[in-house]
Structure 1
Amino acid sequence: GSAVRAVLSPQTTATDTGARFVIGRTPLTERFATLAPAFGSKIAGDGVSLMLGAMRFRTPPKQAAEELAPEVTLPDIRDYVRWAMLLPPSGSLGAPTAQEAALSRMEGWHPDLQALIEQADPDNSTLLSIRVVEPRERWAPGPVTLLGDAIHATSPTGGNGANTALRDADLLRRCLIEVVERRQDLLGAVGDYERQMFEYGGEAVRHSLAALPAFVPNSDRPSRHRF
């Protein structure tokens, strides 16, 4: 996506917010079951936020695939807690592991929270920089276009990145159907998609940036919020 964007719209580039995002996955055990009892939890500490969400499968994915689509092979994933921590701009990408980056900001936190990070699956834990891409100037009309993170990458604090990409796909699908039904030519249909996508895609990026400060607090005393 970024390679196509560089050709279509070289002036549209990713901007580093300075904040860092640590994300990991830990098997859901009885010890950790009460840490994320709601849809999700946000724990605000000394300049950082830890977000938790439990993934409880009604049917494990591997078993569901064996029953519904035997030709599909999925890994044997069981219930887990997905955790993420936002680090302030001073956070470093030089930490040896994502777990160590998170634990370095959790001195004095409850032992269960520290254990949650310590017992994370290292293959599904990583430390990333938070970068955004905001659509700005339209490119010349043509049969090639962009959607999703390639043209409007949001901060994860907006909680709307994937939904906005799905909105792109649905809108583009409806525009292309008009071409197939001869109610619109291709360039006109793609142009209609891009005009609408630029408007709501840009708003999604701005919304995510506006929410970022709330997830990088400066409170000295941890607090919990459910959402």
Structure 2
Amino acid sequence: MRVVVVGGGIGGLALGAGLRRRGFEVAVFERDTDVAATGGYHITLDERAQSALQGLVEPQIMQRLLASGSALRLRERDAFWDRRGRLLGHGPDLGDSGSIDVDRVTLRMLLAEAVGEDLHLGCSVSGVGLDDHGAPQVLFTDRAPVSADLVVGADGTHSVVARHLAGGPTNSPAGIIGFSGRTLLRDLGPGERQRLRPRSGLAVGPRGAALYLGFLDPVGNAALDAPELRMSVTTGPTYIWGAMFPESAATDSLRDLPCGELRDALLSRFRAHHWAEHTLEVIARADPDSVAAFRFNAASTRAADLAPWPAGRITALGDAVHATPPTAGMGAGAAIRDAADLLEHLSTVAAGTAVLTDAVDRFETGMRRRGSEVLTLAMKTVRWILATDTTLGAAATAASTPILAAAARLRH
């Protein structure tokens, strides 16, 4: 069986690696010319995603991933703050967590290595369809079409493949513009180092202004103590942060600013929302070249709305189907689980115990459930942030946070 995968992000590479490992004929086509040319941010892989990945890649790839990942169990409990930097509460104890955080660049490079020569970079896909023999076919802007037994779209939020299948977009703007960057712990002053501590956290203020801080330390908090296997692009304790504002003409215009100007404009916007100056230090001292802006897109949270097409020899997975805002930290993990599930169903076809379209149908049924699960979690935070942008929500946020902060001080 020949499988063509469109898209070399996390989901597409995971599927390509698994297919190659199981002996399928596979080709992964990616428009980027360098797998390291991706957002330098981090993703969380829970135990389900890690288990799925173990079935897709060779053991040595998994070992290198763990040696390059930051174990959640080794950091402090997450924190919640207000716009003044006052502590409001904590997340659950992470001592029993099996989840890891890993640089997106690191994971993508490891998966690309697992796909090997079956990964074709610099290939821009223009469409999909059927060839003269009725087989699925991928069209390119600068090379001859390629046919296959199965085509899988893993080409993200603006998927060419999923749009073809659905007859239109499979997601829409979620109402938030995100801004992200990286700040080394050592670049912060003593006060902020003490307040933020080695933990992740979230601060939400009135009018939809929010700031997430993800703490990543693949060296000090390595999930596997094997320095000789480590290849993380993060080598010291780092806050990989994400700022959020409701989408508007003003916030949307920031997306076109160069990195340094974007950082300054972002600081100005938080100041206009009356955030304490010390809470903005993590942004002010960020590497200016790391600062970027992007729109949150989301598919429907209803499973029945996802993959709204009859099963066939063209399908899709990951954000192409269930585009998920980063507010749950589960999008990449869900794409990996999609890839593992599709591989298992395709293996039954290769073994002669199932028909291809039936296998795809079963895969898409499971994918709809997975997508609905992660989207429901992610959209809870999105809706909470957007709720503070109403007159009532802004007033309630401003009034309640001092009370929550006082209660937190009494508890400690």
Q: Percent identity?
A: 26
The secondary structure found in structure 2 opposite 1:57 is coil
Q: Does 1:102 align with 2:266?
A: yes
- Counterparts of 1:187-206 in structure 2 under 5 Å? 187-206=357-376
What do the CA deviations read for 1:195-226 (whole angstroms, capped 9, x no partner)?
1112331343244223312234332376799x
Q: Does 1:133 align with 2:299?
A: yes
Distance change (3 Å), C-alpha of 1:77 and 1:124: farther
Distance change (3 Å), C-alpha of 1:204 and 1:54: closer
TM-score (norm 1): 0.81
TM-superposed CA distance for 1:163, in Å, is 2.1
What do the CA deviations read for 1:12-45 (whole angstroms, capped 9, x no partner)?
4331122111111111216343343354111122
Q: Is the 8 A contact 1:60 1:77 kept in 2?
A: no
The secondary structure found in structure 2 opposite 1:176 is helix
TM-superposed CA distance for 1:170, in Å, is 1.8
Aligned residue pairs total 221
Which of 11, 15, 21 lines up with 2:178 in the alignment? 21
Q: Is the 8 A contact 1:49 1:85 kept in 2?
A: yes
More helix per residue: 2
What do the CA deviations read for 1:132-182 (whole angstroms, capped 9, x no partner)?
133445324322211110110012223321222122112112212222322
TM-score (norm 2): 0.47
The secondary structure found in structure 1 opposite 2:181 is strand
- Counterparts of 1:139-158 in structure 2 under 5 Å? 139-158=309-328
Structure 1 portions without partners, runs of 5+: none
- Counterparts of 1:30-41 in structure 2 under 5 Å? 31=189, 32-37=192-197, 39-41=199-201
Distance in 2 between residues matched to 1:5 and 1:179, nearest whole Å: 23
Distance change (3 Å), C-alpha of 1:130 and 1:148: same
Q: Does 1:88 align with 2:246?
A: yes
- Counterparts of 1:27-66 in structure 2 under 5 Å? 27-29=184-186, 31=189, 32-37=192-197, 39-47=199-207, 48-58=209-219
Q: Which amino acid aligns with 1:87?
A: F
Q: Which amino acid aligns with 1:158?
A: A
Distance in 1 between residues matched to 2:220 and 2:377, nearest whole Å: 35
CA RMSD of superposed structures (Å) = 3.1
Q: Which amino acid aligns with 1:44?
A: V
Q: Is the 8 A contact 2:218 2:235 kept in 1?
A: no
In structure 1, what is the equivalent of residue 347 of structure 2?
Answer: 177
TM-superposed CA distance for 1:3, in Å, is 0.9
Distance in 1 between residues matched to 2:351 and 2:211, nearest whole Å: 49
Distance change (3 Å), C-alpha of 1:23 and 1:109: same
TM-superposed CA distance for 1:77, in Å, is 4.4
Which of 155, 158, 162 lines up with 1:5 in the alignment? 162
Which of 209-218 and 179-188 deviates more? 209-218
Which of 40-49 and 96-105 deviates more? 96-105
The secondary structure found in structure 2 opposite 1:129 is strand
Q: Is the 8 A contact 1:51 1:84 kept in 2?
A: yes
